Amino acid sequence: MSRCAEAAAVAATVPGAGVGSAGLRPPMVPRQASFFPPPVPNPFVQQTRMGAAKRIQVRGVGILLICQRSLTVNVILLLAAMSRANSVFLYICMYFQRTITQRILKFLGHAMFLSMGFIVTVKGRIASPVEAPIFVVAPHSTFFDGIACVVTGLPSIVSRLENVQVPLIGRLLRAVQPVLVSRVDPDSRKNTINEIVRRATSGGEWPQILVFPEGTCTNRSCLITFKPGAFIPGVPVQPVLLRYPNKLDTVTWTWQGYTFLQLVVLTCCQPFTKVEVEFMPIQAPNDEEKRDPVLFASRVRNLMAEALRIPVTDHTYEDCRLMISAGQLTLPMEAGLVEFTKISRKLKLDWDGVRKHLSEYAAIASSTKGGRIGIEEFAEYLKLPVSDVLRQLFALFDRNHDGSIDFREYVIGLAVLCNPANTEEIIQVAFKLFDVDEDGYISEDEFSTIMQASLGVPDLDVSGLFKEIAQGDSVSYEEFKSFALKHPEYAKIFTAYLDLQASHVFSLPEEGQTAPAVASNKVSPESHEESASGKKDD
């Protein structure tokens, strides 16, 4: 018997299991402990609230500061662009190109952030290119994190190819010899990794590389999954921590919150903005981590999170994509957050598969408050009444016992409970169970009889469900299989019923014994006194 079938049998034998009743829930099924909810439900949102005094400051003093700072920043950017343009005359000597020009740009970078009101505190020692060819910077929460590039001496950064085409900014970007990524080139990711490896293992011939391993901005409440790109070369890295210890957060740029322009204006309206850049001890990979960059990335992330005193989660940029998809499906955007890396790795699901489940989930939950599924919506989706068996199935999905199912619980439930039970063998056995007269088709009466017995509801009306499965007056095996594959939730009901039979709940005979007074295909609570005929071997 599969683990899924064991769980179903346990659920089916719990009498009167109520929704959200921890005492009546079945025990934790295998692997459930691996899917505890993340400590930070949504690291991609930020709500900055300003008091009346701050609003007056923004409208009053802020206007003067913006005018003065905008003028200063534009002058500095112009000087930086001129410095970069003049560097063409220095190409004959690589030393000048790497030292004099970059020193000028570094000075102008400091001047620009200072003119915007940033007060930068640097802690720790910056490693040399030979000691640590790669800087890994976290948490990544804003476009102002570019200050880390200035503090580290303008190392090379990984950037989109389109960015170097931007007037002025593109010229400055080229000055740091970036590793460029193309969105249209299918080999871009491979080429980018190869280029990072080539530079990181050059023995100091190339500038250091700075990477934000999270790959997207968060609200600094946790460290999300580190992408392995910076750790694939297997060379020492220096972790760099970023902190913004300000009473009013005007810098965090997430998927929900202030826009780019709003944050620039709000930040420029503040008298000053504190930034702390801390250089941690260099981290060198051991032999196992050289073979497994994901392991190396995880260790470095844990060290950085411990120093920041924040938790880690398995969220990634793919969670952001799912969050946006949830909004497009009229669900709360938070509904799409499932810790994609953990879910995909443990359940063998790709992004397209999870996105498909999100569409299915939205069809059930879009009309509910908060985008969560209750027992009534679950029953309506399955076209079944609320019964003890359905409550037990619902309880298996409801992992936190709160009486509702969120998208994360729905995906885990399908993958851990339903899909493993929805095998070809189970589908065949279930079809034979329904096909009482063994003619290769299931009539509505046959279907109704078994569903009534499975759910323990003698007067159950399943005509609506039957019509959804059948093309005509009866259901063929192919129609039954097609429906079962699209709706694996029903597999739990079938396996629970089959396990009840196997455990002699309905006194089924062993092979070779005389059939009792109950036919295996016509079992129902009311049929115990009927005589058996046409007994089929299970």
- Count of alpha carbons within 13 angstroms of residue 335, beta-carbon side: 31
> Residue 498: what pLDDT?
62
> Residue 496: what pLDDT?
62
> Residue 77: what pLDDT?
62
Measure the N-to-C terminal CA separation of the chain; round to a whole number of Å.
14
- Specify the 3-state DSSP secondary structure of 181: strand
pLDDT band with cut points at 50, 70 and 90 for residue 227: very high
Q: How far is CA 179 from CA 147, 188, 192, 195, 376, in A?
A: 18, 11, 7, 7, 53
pLDDT band with cut points at 50, 70 and 90 for residue 71: low
- Across the chain, mean pLDDT equals 77
What are the pLDDT digits (tens) for 289-340? 999 999 999 999 999 999 999 999 999 988 988 998 988 888 888 888 889 8
Q: Is the pLDDT of residue 281 over 80?
A: yes
> Residue 13: what pLDDT?
39
- Specify the 3-state DSSP secondary structure of 436: coil
Q: What is the mean pLDDT of residues 504-519?
A: 40
What are the pLDDT digits (tens) for 90-128? 444 444 555 666 777 778 778 888 888 899 999 999 999
Q: At what angle do helices 424-434 and 477-486 cross, to 10 degrees?
A: 130
Domains of the chain: residue spans and CATH = 42-323 (no CATH), 334-416 (1.10.238.10), 420-504 (1.10.238.10)
Q: What is the mean pLDDT of residues 474-502?
A: 75
Q: Is the pLDDT of residue 520 over 70?
A: no
Q: Is the pLDDT of residue 76 over 70?
A: no
> Residue 200: what pLDDT?
92
Q: How far apart are CA 479 and CA 484, in angstroms?
A: 9
> Residue 277: what pLDDT?
97
Residue 133, C-beta contacts closer than 8 angstroms, at least 6 positions apart: 199, 200, 201, 202, 204, 206, 208, 209, 233, 235, 236, 237
Across 104-113, 305-314, 406-415, 484-493, least confident range: 484-493
Check whether the bond before 139 is cis (ω within 30° of 0): yes
> Residue 413: what pLDDT?
83
- Own/partner pairs, 93-97, CB within 8 angstroms, 24+ separation: none
Nearest residue to 155 (alpha-carbon basis) of 92, 201, 200: 200
Q: Is the pLDDT of residue 1 over 50?
A: no
Most confident of 35-39, 377-381, 457-461: 377-381
Q: What is the mean pLDDT of residues 508-523?
A: 40
- Specify the 3-state DSSP secondary structure of 444: helix
> Residue 343: what pLDDT?
86
Residue 424 vs residue 66, higher pLDDT = 424
Q: What is the mean pLDDT of residues 191-202?
A: 91
> Residue 422: what pLDDT?
66
pLDDT band with cut points at 50, 70 and 90 for residue 66: low
pLDDT band with cut points at 50, 70 and 90 for residue 530: very low
Nearest residue to 10 (alpha-carbon basis) of 257, 435, 113, 1: 1
- Specify the 3-state DSSP secondary structure of 395: helix
> Residue 473: what pLDDT?
84
Cite the DSSP H helix spans in 13-51: none
pLDDT band with cut points at 50, 70 and 90 for residue 171: low
What are the pLDDT digits (tens) for 12-32? 433 333 333 433 344 444 444
DSSP-assigned states of every residue in 291-336: H-HHHHHHHHHHHHHHHHT--B----HHHHHHHHHHHHTTS-GGGG
